[in-house]
Amino acid sequence: MRPDVARRPRYAAPSPFGTALLIALVAIGAVSLGLPRNALATTTMAAACDGVRLRTGPTTGALIATTLFTGWQVGVETTVTDGSWSATCAGATVTGTTWYEISQVNGQAVSSLYGVPVVYGATGLFQAAPVVTPTPTPDPFATPTPTPTPSPTPFLPVVEGIDVSHWQNTIDWPQVAAAGKRFAFMKASEGTTLADTTYATNRAQAKAAGLYVGAYHFARPDRTPGDAVAEADYFLAMSQLEAGDLVPVLDLEDAGGLSPVELQEWVKGYLGRIYERTGARGMIYASPTFWRNAMGDTTWFATNGYGMIWVAHWTTALGPTVPAQNWGGNGWTFWQYTSSGSVPGIGGRVDLDRFNGLDLTPLVLTSGVIEQGGPTLDVTASSAVITWGDTVVIKASFGAAGAGRTFDLQAGADGVSWQTIATVVTDAQGNASFSYRPATNLYYRGAFAGAPDLAAVTSPAARVVVRQIALLRPTTSGATRIVSRGRKITFTTTVRPARADLPPARVTLAIYRRVDGRWMPFTTRNVYVNAAGQASYTWTFSTRGEWYVRSIANPTLANANSAWSPVERYSVR
């Protein structure tokens, strides 16, 4: 996972995961009629390399049932000839059209593991299993020599998935699903001001492709009173959790300068708020080193209802190191085993994850956010995040008892200090609405002073985040501008809002170059806006080739980040 502001180093030291990029498959039920078959007595074979995939049919288009590691053993019933395959295994490229029909994995029946009679694997990815020499009948009069019991071949029933954010750009989710990924966690928010710009699209398309989907929040803890609750509320507003989603995740990588005791209390506050508003126990993502150093290796969460841990441990071992005394004896739930994975449908690197089990349904939410009581204040817009200049409609409802009542609509930057922005009167149904055009992030609430027949009450607060606008000039208006090598161009980004009482925005100018047919990041430049809200940087195109430039306004204490500006393309001759 990655933060969206300055990248902070992870606590877990990365090590490359040596999983071979393979194609191997699994088949549902008996072999289709007409497939050429070579009957065998049940034969034991072993995976010749890591990452061997078993599928629901003898073709690379079939669904993936599981992934094997080197040495895992399978019981082969027969061979069939069908779809072609090609893979790299144990350093060699192998191809073919023959498949093993497999009825057992590590001595367990395929039907009990995956709910299908047989699965299929490409023959070139297996080798003969080691022959176990039978122990001779012992001489009853000889002194027996103790024989150590051999360790059984480990079996890990796991489900493969990924986690993503806007760093992965556009994703082809049907390809991801076809590659055997069953779940995806995606970034929804960070701190209290940053919403991931790809979350809504990723969520909708991943669900449409048949994946289990979950949301995570990148924590930015600090000592501000109420910060943990504010971040939890912001995450729930950005993630829009609903029944069918996977449990929400708190991504812990930044201690924010808090001591282990302070951070433990912060996490308790955050997860407590999630539980209060969803009825679900959230899951924690952390590396073993971070948990040990920043959280004091506490077992409190593991033993107080938070039995799931997502461990970030990049290793080639069969499992991760699990903190907090193996998470109170529960073990790991999810394991992020590399940050350098490759998945069809995703350009560049992506985090790869495993679920410790085969059935994800116990981790699925049965409801979304639970509506809070009292006079409710419902904030509606195209989303809980609007762009500067847009209007938000604030709707409040008292219910039948609140018909014809007068109360204040209030706003505040921190959710603590409030100012009245309108005094409204409810209609015959107890409803009222007010249109407002905020320039900055604000909390909103309704405050009723009370009446002889109705007690005073204040509604829960709702928050609206206002994105900045970033306009990059000069613009090529979607065309590619041809310039000569050595040409200097001053790029200016105009940011709104821009006022003397607001903190100045920091603009990131990102420059990309096309290398071997792929757009690669070349450099970035960070410039703060001036009093007029403009940030300028002069760039020299010193190398021939294809280039593009774009910019973004980073979040401030008053506003969320802008969207990326449109790409400006240049061809340097």
Contact 213, 186 (CB under 8 A): yes
In this structure, how many other beta carbons lie within 10 angstroms of the beta carbon of residue 5?
Answer: 17
Q: Three-state SS for 347?
A: coil
Contact 491, 509 (CB under 8 A): yes
Sign, Cα dihedral of 67, 184, 88, 57: positive
Instruction: Please pick, among 253, 254, 353, 568, the residue that the annotation labels catalytic.
Output: 253
State phi, psi for 341 to the nearest 5 degrees: -80, 165
CA dist 54 and 59 (Å) reads 10
In this structure, how many other beta carbons lie within 10 angstroms of the beta carbon of residue 269?
Answer: 18
CB neighbours of 269 closer than 8 A, spacing ≥ 6? Answer: 228, 229, 232
State phi, psi for 207 to the nearest 5 degrees: -65, -40
Catalytic status, residue 516: no
Which token pair is 75?
Answer: 């019981």
Contact 407, 449 (CB under 8 A): yes
Q: 489: closest CA among 527, 524, 538, 526?
A: 538
Distances, alpha carbon 95 to alpha carbons 36, 54, 522, in Å: 18, 16, 38
CA dist 570 and 548 (Å) reads 6
Sign, Cα dihedral of 308, 314, 319, 323: negative
Catalytic status, residue 233: no
State phi, psi for 269 to the nearest 5 degrees: -65, -40
Sign, Cα dihedral of 498, 500, 501, 505: positive
Q: How many helices (H) and strands (E) does the chain have?
A: 7, 34
Sign, Cα dihedral of 123, 124, 126, 131: positive
In this structure, how many other beta carbons lie within 10 angstroms of the beta carbon of residue 432?
Answer: 22
| Angle at 198 (CA atoms; ends 196, 200), nearest 5 degrees | 95
Which token pair is 142?
Answer: 């000889």
Q: Which residues of 17-48 are buried (b: 16+ CB within 10 A; e: fewer)?
A: bebbebbbbbbbeebeeebeeeeeeeebbbbb
Instruction: Please pick, among 163, 190, 227, 231, the residue that the annotation labels catalytic.
Output: 163
Catalytic status, residue 245: no
DSSP 202-270: HHHHHHHTT-EEEEEEE----SSTTHHHHHHHHHHHHH---TTSBPPEEE----TT--HHHHHHHHHHH
Which H or E run contains 112?
A: helix 110-114
For residue 309, the cross-strand partners are 284
CB neighbours of 143 closer than 8 A, spacing ≥ 6? Answer: none
Instruction: Please pick, among 231, 251, 353, 568, the residue that the annotation labels catalytic.
Output: 251
Residue numbers annotated as active site: 163, 251, 253
